[in-house]
Amino acid sequence: MAPPQSPPRHPAPPQRPFVLGIETSCDETAAAVVAADRSILSNVILSQTALHAVHGGVVPEIAARAHLDHIDRIVTQALEQASLSLNDLDAVAATVGPGLIGGLIVGAMTGKAIALAAGLPFIAVNHLEGHALSARLAPGVAYPYLLLLVSGGHCQLLVVEGLGTYHRLGGTIDDAAGEAFDKTAKLLGLGYPGGPALERSAVTGDPRRFALPQPLVGRPGCDFSFSGLKTAVRQLVERLGSDATARDVADISAAFQAAVAAVLVDRTRHALAMADERGLRPTALVVAGGVAANQLIRRRLTELAAAHGLALAAPPPALCTDNAAMIAWAGLEHFRAGHVDRLDVAARPRWPLDPRVA
């Protein structure tokens, strides 16, 4: 596995409360400490990419065992880098869903054990809410805002009206965008994780050479569909066969990336109109989740936001993929609002942000 990484600590003196966050919902074992003034005092991430690369995707049993093997060390490292002890913390937050149940149990039980031993409040965090609130780690993002949450397992548009109040306007009817990136990269032989590999391949490609579909573009509403796009790439790869060149791969990568960007922009444009019709005027357009690290998608969404008189707010790339700083921050927002959880709260493999949408 890759060595754990942490960004430099905030240079200014941090302000209480201090919250420890733990994230183990998929294939990153992570712990972080965040302060009330948005200082990220530590953000340690141990990637399991090498463990899963040979399988072409995340194996839940392997992920859970790796979390169990490393979580104590990662938490200790996060506290050491923050120059804090358990006695200095004000609360502990951990992801309890949605995600892979084995990993969720490891992180949740670790968080509960620390909270119990240190006499601290425990906050059960929705992983999607961590992404949803991650843009607020930078100052200036006020409620309400329109959120495009786009990752390997999720693709949805929501109005974030306030802490704990999320109104979903649309979501994917099949694959998530990040999943489509990973599977397309695998078809092209680009390796795992697929999103960053495909983006690198697309840099030298011509997005206009191959015509790929842009599912649901121009249709009413703001739902997403990526299965047809993925199928079109597979058929193209099969047609080229063993004659495919490195240029072919780069051009297909560029065409695929451009198609996904067009779909995301079109669906988000419709969501902005829907929010306006309902009297929900957002203060910003926020994009979060692993796919939000893609630079072409960021540029296209920046242009869309500007056309509607909004700013695009996006976490830095390091905070787009799974991390514990966003979990600590979500926990901190709930802690300041007086929201804490019992220690018998259960891990949940499914947990929609909008409870009206299953």
Q: Tell me: do 81 and 186 sit in the same domain.
A: no
What is d(CA 65, CA 85) in angstroms, rounded to the nearest whole number?
Answer: 27
Per the domain annotation, does 352 fall within a domain?
A: no
Cβ atoms within 10 Å, residue 269: 15
CA 100 – CA 95 distance, rounded (Å): 11
The answer to whether the beta carbons of residues 76 and 83 sit under 8 Å apart is: no
Q: Please compute the mean of the pLDDT values over residues 237-245 and round it to a whole number.
A: 94
In the 3-class helix/strand/coil scheme, how is the chain assigned residue by residue? CCCCECCCCCCCCCCCCEEEEEECCCCEEEEEEEECCCCEEEEEEEECHHHHHCCCCCCHHHHHHHHHHHHHHHHHHHHHHCCCCHHHCCEEEEEEECCCHHHHHHHHHHHHHHHHHHCCCEEEEEHHHHHHHHHHHCCCCCCCEEEEEECCCCEEEEEEEECCEEEEEEEECCCCHHHHHHHHHHHCCCCCCHHHHHHHHHCCCCCCCCCCCCCCCCCCCCCECCHHHHHHHHHHHHHHHHHCCHHHHHHHHHHHHHHHHHHHHHHHHHHHHHHHHCCCCCCCEEEECHHHHCHHHHHHHHHHHHHCCCCEECCCHHHCCCCCHHHHHHHHHHHHCCCCECCCCCCCCCCCCCCCCC
165 plus 298 within the same structural domain: yes
Confidence of residue 6 (pLDDT cuts 50, 70, 90): very low
- Confidence class of residue 7 from pLDDT cuts 50, 70 and 90? very low
* Phi then psi dihedrals of residue 154, to 5 deg: -140, 145
The pLDDT score that the predictor gives to residue 358 is: 61
Q: Indicate if 310 and 323 belong to the same structural domain.
A: no
Please indicate, yes or no, whether residues 51 and 111 belong to a single structural domain of this protein: yes
Model confidence at 206: pLDDT above 50: yes
User: Do 97 and 350 meet the contact criterion of CB atoms below 8 Å apart?
Assistant: yes
Count the Cβ atoms, other than its own, within 10 Å of residue 54.
Answer: 8
Q: State the Cα–Cα distance between residues 267 and 51, nearest whole angstrom.
A: 35
**Structural domain includes residue 58:** yes
Mean pLDDT for 5-11 is 48
Which of 19-33, 44-58, 242-256 has the least mean pLDDT?
A: 44-58
- pLDDT, tens digit, 9 for 90 and up, residues 307-343: 999 999 999 988 999 999 999 999 999 999 999 999 9
Do 304 and 165 share a structural domain?
yes
Angle 224-227-233 from CA coordinates, rounded to 5°: 125
Given this model, what pLDDT does residue 27 score?
A: 86
Domain count, the chain: 2
> Amino acid letter at 84?
L
Dump pLDDT digits (tens) for 254-283: 999 999 999 999 999 999 999 999 888 999
Pairing of strands 285-288, 312-313: parallel
Q: What percent of the chain has pLDDT over 70?
A: 96
Q: Which of these, 294, 271, 293, 295, lies nearest to 281 by C-alpha position?
A: 271
If asked whether residues 46 and 129 sit together in one domain, one would say yes
Same domain, 274 and 260: yes
Residues 65 and 204 in one domain: no
Q: Is residue 340 a contact partner of residue 113, using CB atoms and an 8 Å limit?
A: no
Q: What is the pLDDT of residues 127-176, one digit of tens each?
A: 999 999 999 998 889 999 999 999 988 899 999 999 999 999 999 999 99
> Quick check: is 124 in a domain?
yes
Residues 114 and 65 in one domain: yes
Strand arrangement of the beta sheet that strand 155-162 belongs to = 165-171, 155-162, 145-150, 285-288, 312-313
Range of the domain at 89: 18-135+319-336
Rounded distance between C-alpha atoms, residue 327 and residue 269, angstroms:
29
Report whether 315 contacts 288 (CB < 8 A).
yes
What's CA 103's distance to the chain center, in Å?
Answer: 16
Q: Which of 331, 292, 270, 316 is nearest to 149 (CA)?
A: 292
The angle at the Cα of 290, spanning 89 to 75, to the nearest 5 degrees, equals 25
Rounded to the nearest integer, the mean pLDDT of the chain is: 93
| 66 lies in some domain | yes
Q: Is the peptide bond before 144 cis (omega within 30 degrees of 0)?
A: yes
pLDDT score of 11: 55
163 shares a domain with 285:
yes
Domain containing residue 281: CATH number: 3.30.420.40
Residue 120 falls inside a structural domain: yes
Does 115 lie in the same domain as 155? Answer: no
